Structure 1
């Protein structure tokens, strides 16, 4: 809980310097979803929330959002926020962090806030 409070304090003190709001194209959304399909236990169960994105000065796209998928027991584990990057040169997406704990959630939210791409929770 302390980590979440610290994260929220940092969140409030940061800005989106060096980023510009960005609207993901359909092919970029498909790229993000495909990356998760390769990593989840039950890729067909993935339910995504709204995506939010921002472009860095170097043309890298920061993508934030939430994903809910089935766990090993076959039940949904709850929407987890994530942050990742689309490399526009190689047209690839890398998940940087999928929050599993409160501390990781704070890290994801701070990263997304810094980019100006807060996911809808």
Structure 2
């Protein structure tokens, strides 16, 4: 009799588990298309790496911070990370980590002010630099371009992950080149925030392969003043 009860209980548990599996919407599974929220890259290697990270992070305890969860995920997905191509036009593991820490994996995880969730739409918005024309002047950065600027600035920082971005503005000259000025606060070598510092640079490339070359990053007062003067002279601020 006891054996019969055990079988009945086990059968009930199996049916309940099966019902739970059936009730799961397959569309909720995180895939390459979802990964384009994190990056505008079309590389399967990049997207597969992000999918791997999300799979691990989503199964870590909710009380664990995203940074700690991501560290665990990076260890689990290290083989996929090794397949990432070292190219200026593609994000590396550090770039991807920074993107996820700032914007998360899905819409709603990050702030729209940081360009989060705009990568799919922005890749279609970007147009190649135009030939010399009267259209030179203030330029509205797309979400992809904003992310490219932030990624470029992070690479120039001693503690990229700690970066807190302030305002960002851009202008295009008569040759079609787009220059960007903004501010960023990040930690120094001693682990303390140094306050918002100005930066200046230029967009390179276009579409999903757009990048940002930093020409100047504030530090001492004279450097910051020089950068702000360039930004004013170019009509950016």
TM-score norm. by structure 2 comes to 0.40
**Alignment partner, residue 61 of structure 1:** 178
Structure of larger gyration radius = 2
The aligned counterpart of 2:160 is 43
Equivalenced residues, count: 101
Q: After the TM superposition, which residues 17-36 of structure 1 pair with which residues of structure 2 at under 5 Å, given as runs? A: 19-36=136-153
Partner-residue secondary structure (3-state), 2:219? coil
Q: Deviations over 1:44-84 (max 9, x none)?
A: 11001010110011111110000000111111011001111
Q: Structure 2: 5+ residue runs without aligned partners? A: 1-134
Tell me the CA shift for residue 88 of structure 1.
4.0
Is 2:188 aligned against 1:71? Answer: yes
CA distance in 2, matches of 1:78, 1:52: 19
- Say whether 1:115 aligns with 2:230: no
Give the structure, 1 or 2, with the largest relative contact order (CA under 8 Å, sep 6 or more): 1
Distance across 2 between alignment mates of 1:96 and 1:88: 16
**CA displacement at 1:103 relative to structure 2:** 1.4
Answer yes or no: is the 8 Å Cα contact 1:59–1:88 preserved in 2.
no
Per mean C-alpha deviation after superposition, the further-off stretch among 46-55 and 109-118 is: 109-118
Residue 111 of structure 1: how far off its partner (Å)? 0.7
What's the C-alpha RMSD, in Å, of the aligned pairs? 1.7
* Cα deviations by residue, 1:24-50 (Å, 9 ceiling, x for unpaired): 100000001111222222111100101
What stretches of structure 1 of length at least 5 have no aligned partner? 1-17
> How far apart are 1:106 and its partner, in Å?
1.8
Relative to the length of structure 1, the TM-score reads: 0.76
